[in-house]
Amino acid sequence: MNNRKLGKWVGGFTSFALLAGLLAACGGNGNEASPSASSPAAGGASPSASAPADPTQLSGTVKVWDWDETFQNGMIPEFNKKYPNIKVEVTVVNPNDYLQKLQSGIASGSDVPDVILGEEAYRGKLFDLDVLDNLEGAPYNFDRSGVLDYTIPFISNSRGEVVAVDQAITPAGFAYRRDLAKQYWGTDDPAELAKLLSNWDDFIAKGVELKDKSDGKVLMFPGLGDAFLVLRNQNTVSYVNGSEVDLTAKLQQPIETLFKMRDAGILGKNELWTPAWSASMAKGEFMFYPMAPWGPKWHISANDPEGSGRWGLVKAPEVGFARGGTAVGIYKDSKAKEAAWAFVQFAYQSEEGSLYNFQTFGNMTSNKEFYEKQKALFEAPGAYDEFFGGQNLSQYFLQEIIPDMKGQPQSKYDSVVDGVFNALYPLWTKDASTTVDAALEKFKTEFKNKASDATVK
Amino acid sequence: MNVNAERYDAIPAASRKRRWGPRMWPYLFALPFVLTYAAFQLYPILYSFVLSLHDWNGIGAKTYIGFKNYVQLWTNDPLFIKSLWNTLLMMLMFIPLTLILGLTLAYWTFQLTRGKRFFQTINVLPYITTPVAIGFIFSYMFDWQTGLVNLLLTKFGILEEGFYWLQDPWGSRAIIALMVIWRNLGYFMIIFMAGMTVIPQDVYEAAKVDGSTGLHTFLRITMPLLRNITVFLVVTSMIGGLQLFDEPKLLYGGWSGSAQVGGPDNTALTMIWKFVDESFISNTRFGYASAIAYSLFLLIVLFSVISYRLTAPKEDKR
């Protein structure tokens, strides 16, 4: 009897404990309306100084969400040589659902990283959520004049505050097949080619020549997606003002040029990132692939492993453009802002970090000073120069492509534009009779369907 | 629980203590489930209703806007209506076909004397394949430039140039329906076979004595006796169909970063995909997305009731 009684009590108590636990958890969920007030005064060790005098004084734990574990596994030990008392914890998060995880984390008040990464696909949306701290304020005191000028729009939110630093710069040109250029155009020299392709009209004319000479076997780009991403990113006009979205200003010109190319028959029919698209690099069916500094490793040599020596890099007609890129910011309610900044600053901006980053991963920092101090480093051959026929790739990016580049102001509507384009360009490929006006109208309608709060021009 | 209580009431009470004891235990044992249910099912359901009355991006402040989300959704969101239409169309394509094929396959496999196990296993394999792999397989197969299907069609001279399956409004829907059929056929077959094992052999023997054979036996005996199984399959596949998401998403978003939402001209956009797109991809409108989720919930209830009414045996329709 006694045992049964005891059992009843134990059972009852367990149930109540469970109930209490669950309700507490729910309560935590429901309280998101009151933001944690502890944010500004966190740390408190060295409030005003921009960089701590003695790195060993700084301590704490910094949580980072990154998809590139290899990078962090290499960088963190380097960082800890200088900052031995800061612990960096990395959670591997896939870029495709990064923002989703972050939003859920913030909404539920659970796990939020101190260091947040914004990949191109969702960077504008991330900035617009207003969860990143202004890096020009304390305790960071970041100086925007220290980074390459064209990168500033890429790291600023719609209020013009710098809220992130670049993981690496992503100026882009075209990777091209040297063998095909030599065969059909008589030269494979980047400077000669740049002259032949100084504007888009020349580009189209050269494309038609290529198509005719090769009996249609070799075309300029693998598909409309590749061509459009160049054209769109070359047009860096600020097309969003609050909820007013001027799609005509942003897209009319790119679509016109795109359709000229399509109608000239110099574009292939491949969709971006499909197996056929990847395989085309080794097959030599297309002359050009838009390429940023991350391209030689992840893109060209990965899809054409036997192709060493037959690739080159040339700048795009008219003006350079950016391709991809990730911005790194700090959560505004982080409890370890100074430690987090120490890490971000070290990994992506400091001389030691940038050197390690370039030598190990080929990433190029956005820090101006680094390029002045390390001139010799960039004059020496890089890891993929051999693959590109001995061309010095980083020098080419720095001297030929970056100088005339402009940055694109970021907006939450960027990802909508991207999504709508991804949905529409296969249809434009399929139905080659679509006109520019019809395409633009369709684009606006689709855009409005997805961004009902916006006024579209 | 009511049944238990009634039964205990019927038993003459021996003592107060004994009556109290057994009465408390059922509740206590049910408590962990009820609590878990309340925390992880009931609370989210109610909370998402509250959310659907707000405008909220998950991070900023919530603003109460009444039923505006619902009004916007049902009257001024062509994509939502389109997604509903797409979902229903695709369900219409795959539910009847899977039922018919599943039943035929089950009947045929059931009659087999040799290799029964082998066929069962083969047919259930797609069901246990991960959806990601299925997405890849199908997008490889139906690729415009390099797909196996187009390669065969052009090789045998049926088509001159490959057909752009994945960018055709009906092509896209048909492929998604095909994916669902391919995946669920084995499952339907297994469930039908389980139903067939339950049918007593003497019914068949009696039919045989009366001169019934083959198709007649199948139509008059097997099918009517499988009615409950069919109702179960119809209702569950209605619910599953309305929640269609994996197949279209993986068919169009399987590659890399540049995922396409909705297929060609949004003809493959399902309601759940629209929901995901509103909350995480194109937008971050949690309130609006909750309104979609709630509308979907009501639609699922409605369709389940309708499909049950239509398929259940008469005496069960209460």
Tell me the pLDDT tens digit for each residue of A70-117.
999 999 999 999 999 999 999 999 888 898 889 888 888 788 999 999
The pLDDT, as a whole number, for residue A23 is 42
DSSP secondary structure letter of residue B279: I
DSSP secondary structure letter of residue A147: B
- Full 3-state SS string of B182-227: HHHHHHHHHHHHHHHHHCCHHHHHHHHHCCCCHHHHHHHHHHHHCH
Interchain CB distance below 8 Å, A15 and B36: no
| Interval B213-236: pLDDT, tens | 888 888 888 888 888 899 999 999
List A residues 392-421 in contact with B (Cβ-Cβ < 8 A): 415-416, 418-419
Q: How confident is the model at residue A39 (pLDDT cuts 50, 70, 90)?
A: very low
pLDDT over threshold 50, residue A65: yes
- Burial-class residue A143 by CB neighbours within 10 Å (0-12, 13-18, 19+): exposed
Q: How confident is the model at residue B117 (pLDDT cuts 50, 70, 90)?
A: confident
Measured distance CA(B291)–CA(B274) in Å, rounded: 12
Q: What is the CATH number of the domain that holds B105?
A: 1.10.3720.10
In 3D space, the residue among A348, A403, A359, A411 whose CA is nearest the CA of residue A171 turns out to be A403
CB A388 within 8 A of CB A314: no
Residue B155 belongs to domain spanning: 78-311
pLDDT over threshold 70, residue A131: yes
Give the closest of A12, A273, A423 to B255, CB-based. A273
Instruction: Note whether residue B305 is domain-resident.
Output: yes
Measured distance CA(A250)–CA(A236) in Å, rounded: 8
Q: Region of B81 please: left (phi>0), alpha (psi -120 to 50) or beta.
A: alpha
CATH number of A171-322+394-456: 3.40.190.10
Rounded to two decimals, the ipTM of the complex is: 0.76
Q: How confident is the model at residue A30 (pLDDT cuts 50, 70, 90)?
A: very low
A35 shares contact with chain B (CB less than 8 Å): no
Sheet containing A244-245, strands listed edge to edge, beginning at the edge strand earlier in sequence: A240-241, A244-245, A455-456
Instruction: Note whether residue B92 is domain-resident.
Output: yes
Contacts of A452 in chain B (CB under 8 A): 72, 76-77
| Interval A261-302: pLDDT, tens | 999 999 998 888 887 888 899 999 999 999 999 899 888 999
**One-letter identity of residue A288:** F
CB B134 within 8 A of CB B254: no
pLDDT over threshold 80, residue B316: no
A383 shares contact with chain B (CB less than 8 Å): no
A19 shares contact with chain B (CB less than 8 Å): yes
- Cα distances from A90 to residues A65, A301, A356, in angstroms, run 6, 28, 19
CB A424 within 8 A of CB A439: yes
Can A49-169+325-373 and A171-322+394-456 be said to share one CATH topology?
yes
A417, closest residue in chain B (CA to CA)? B282
A291 shares contact with chain B (CB less than 8 Å): no
The number of helices, as runs of H, and strands, as runs of E, in chain B is: 16, 2
Interchain CB distance below 8 Å, A273 and B257: yes
**One-letter identity of residue A260:** K
Q: Where are the alpha helices (DSSP H) in A199-246?
A: 200-213, 224-234
Contacts of B265 in chain A (CB under 8 A): 423, 427
Dihedral sign for Cα B77, B83, B85, B86, please: positive
DSSP secondary structure letter of residue A193: H
- CA-based nearest distance B307→chain A, Å: 32
Give CA angle at A154 (A368, A114), nearest 5°.
90
pLDDT over threshold 50, residue A316: yes
Give the closest of B72, B283, B286 to A450, CB-based. B283
Interchain CB distance below 8 Å, A103 and B59: yes
Contacts of A18 in chain B (CB under 8 A): 31-32, 35
pLDDT over threshold 70, residue A248: yes
On average, the pLDDT of chain A sits at 86
Which residue has 């491949």 as its token pair?
A: A270
Instruction: Note whether residue B212 is domain-resident.
Output: yes
A121 shares contact with chain B (CB less than 8 Å): yes
- CA-based nearest distance A333→chain B, Å: 12
- CA-based nearest distance A90→chain B, Å: 22
Considering just the CA atoms, what is the radius of gyration of chain A in Å? 26
Measured distance CA(B147)–CA(A258) in Å, rounded: 26
Tokens of A252: 């009319």
**For residues A242-254, average pLDDT:** 93
Measured distance CA(A393)–CA(A387) in Å, rounded: 10
Give the closest of B32, B58, B284 to A18, CB-based. B32
Determine which of B282, B283, B290 to mutate to test the interface with A (most A C-beta atoms within 10 Å).
B282
B166, closest residue in chain A (CA to CA)? A426
Measured distance CA(A233)–CA(A407) in Å, rounded: 9
**For residues A428-437, average pLDDT:** 91
Query: Which of B258 and B39 is assigned the larger pLDDT?
Result: B39
Contacts of A333 in chain B (CB under 8 A): none
A435 shares contact with chain B (CB less than 8 Å): no
Contacts of B280 in chain A (CB under 8 A): 97, 99-100, 103
Collect all residues with Cβ–Cβ distance below 8 Å to B228 and sequence separation of at least 6. B195, B313
* Spans of all domains in chain A: 49-169+325-373, 171-322+394-456
* Buried b / exposed e along B199-212 (16+ C-beta atoms within 10 A): eeeeeeeebeeeeb
B285, closest residue in chain A (CA to CA)? A451
Which residue has 């870029």 as its token pair?
A: A95
Interchain CB distance below 8 Å, A15 and B35: yes
Residue A107: CA atoms inside 13 Å, Cβ hemisphere, count?
18
Measured distance CA(B235)–CA(B271) in Å, rounded: 18
Measured distance CA(A93)–CA(A66) in Å, rounded: 6
Contacts of A279 in chain B (CB under 8 A): 146
A5, closest residue in chain B (CA to CA)? B21
Interchain CB distance below 8 Å, B255 and A274: yes
Contacts of B140 in chain A (CB under 8 A): 275
DSSP secondary structure letter of residue A296: I
The total domain count for chain B is 1
**One-letter identity of residue A384:** Y
A97 shares contact with chain B (CB less than 8 Å): yes
Interchain CB distance below 8 Å, B59 and A99: no
Collect all residues with Cβ–Cβ distance below 8 Å to B312 and sequence separation of at least 6. B227, B231
Which residue has 């198709």 as its token pair?
A: B215
Give the closest of A416, A426, A451 to B167, CB-based. A426
Q: How many CB pairs under 8 A join A and B?
A: 124
Instruction: Note whether residue B52 is domain-resident.
Output: no
Instruction: Note whether residue B111 is domain-resident.
Output: yes
Instruction: Note whether residue B147 is domain-resident.
Output: yes
Dihedral sign for Cα B94, B99, B104, B105, please: positive
**For residues A420-438, average pLDDT:** 90
- CA-based nearest distance B14→chain A, Å: 17
Collect all residues with Cβ–Cβ distance below 8 Å to A16 and sequence separation of at least 6. none
Measured distance CA(B91)–CA(B85) in Å, rounded: 10
List A residues 51-70 in contact with B (Cβ-Cβ < 8 A): none
CB A296 within 8 A of CB A388: yes
* Buried b / exposed e along B28-38 (16+ C-beta atoms within 10 A): eeebeeebeee
DSSP A366-417: SBHHHHHHTHHHHHS--TTTTTTTT--HHHHIIIIIGGG--PPPP-TTHHHH
Share of chain B above pLDDT 70, in %: 89
Instruction: Note whether residue B246 is domain-resident.
Output: yes
Interchain CB distance below 8 Å, B167 and A416: no
**Count of all residues that appear for chain B in the document:** 318
**For residues B49-65, average pLDDT:** 89
Measured distance CA(B79)–CA(B71) in Å, rounded: 14
Which residues on neighbouring strands pair with residue A172, listed in sequence order?
A321
Torsion of Cα atoms, A271 then A100 then A295 then A212, to 10°? 20
Domain A49-169+325-373 sits in CATH 3.40.190.10: yes
